[in-house]
Amino acid sequence: MRIAVFDSKKYDKASLSQANLPHRHELVFFEDRLNIQTAALASGFEVVCPFVNDRVDAATLEQLAKLGVKLVALRCAGFNGVDLNAAAKYGISVTRVPAYSPEAVAEHVFALLLTLVRKTHRAYNRVRDGNFSLDGLVGFNLHGRTFGVIGAGKIGAATMSIAHGFGCRVLAFDRNPTAERAAEMGCEFVSLPELLAQSDIISLHTPLTPETKHLINANTLAGMKHGAVVINTSRGGLIDTNALLDALKSGQVGGVGLDVYEYEEGVFFEDLSGFALEDDTLARLTTFPNVMITSHQGFLTTEALENIAEAVLCEVSAFAHGKPLINPVTV
Domain ranges of the chain: 2-100+301-320, 102-293
- What mean pLDDT comes out for the span 79-90? 95
**Sign of the torsion angle spanned by Cα atoms 235, 80, 176, 183:** negative
Which pLDDT tens digit goes with each residue over 248-303?
A: 999 999 999 999 999 998 899 989 999 989 999 999 999 999 999 999 999 999 99
State the pLDDT at residue 100.
83
Q: Is the predicted pLDDT of residue 19 greater than 90, yes or no?
A: yes
- The pTM of this model reads 0.90
State the pLDDT at residue 111.
98
- One-letter identity of residue 23: H
State the pLDDT at residue 265.
86
- What mean pLDDT comes out for the span 10-28? 97
pLDDT band at 13 (very low <50, low <70, confident <90, very high): very high
State the pLDDT at residue 133.
97
State the pLDDT at residue 217.
98
Question: Could you say which DSSP state residue 236 is in?
Answer: G
* 270 tagged catalytic: no
How many H-runs (helices) and E-runs (strands) does the chain carry? 12, 12
CA distances from 74 to 5, 67, 78, 93, 309 (A): 10, 18, 8, 11, 10
Question: Could you say which DSSP state residue 244 is in?
Answer: H
CATH class of the region 2-100+301-320: alpha beta
Which strand ranges, in their side-by-side order, compose the sheet holding 188-189?
Answer: 188-189, 169-173, 146-150, 201-204, 228-232, 253-258, 291-293
- Cβ of 10: how many Cβ atoms within 10 Å? 8
* 296 tagged catalytic: yes
pLDDT band at 77 (very low <50, low <70, confident <90, very high): confident
Q: Give the rounded percent of residues in the chain with a pLDDT score beyond 70.
A: 100
State the pLDDT at residue 78.
85
- What mean pLDDT comes out for the span 18-36? 97
- Among 235, 262, 310, 315, the one annotated catalytic: 235
- Among 23, 75, 296, 315, the one annotated catalytic: 296
- What mean pLDDT comes out for the span 98-125? 95
Q: Average model confidence (pLDDT) for the chain? A: 96
Q: Is the predicted pLDDT of residue 132 greater than 90, yes or no?
A: yes
Q: Is the predicted pLDDT of residue 238 greater than 90, yes or no?
A: yes
pLDDT band at 331 (very low <50, low <70, confident <90, very high): confident
Which pLDDT tens digit goes with each residue over 185-227?
A: 999 999 999 999 999 999 999 999 999 999 999 999 999 999 9
What CATH topology corresponds to 102-293? Rossmann fold (3.40.50)
- What mean pLDDT comes out for the span 165-187? 94
State the pLDDT at residue 268.
93
* 264 tagged catalytic: yes
- What mean pLDDT comes out for the span 147-160? 96
160 φ/ψ angles, rounded to the nearest 5 degrees: -60, -40
pLDDT band at 241 (very low <50, low <70, confident <90, very high): very high
d(CA 187, CA 29): 43
- Among 23, 46, 262, 264, the one annotated catalytic: 264
pLDDT band at 99 (very low <50, low <70, confident <90, very high): confident
SS3 291: strand
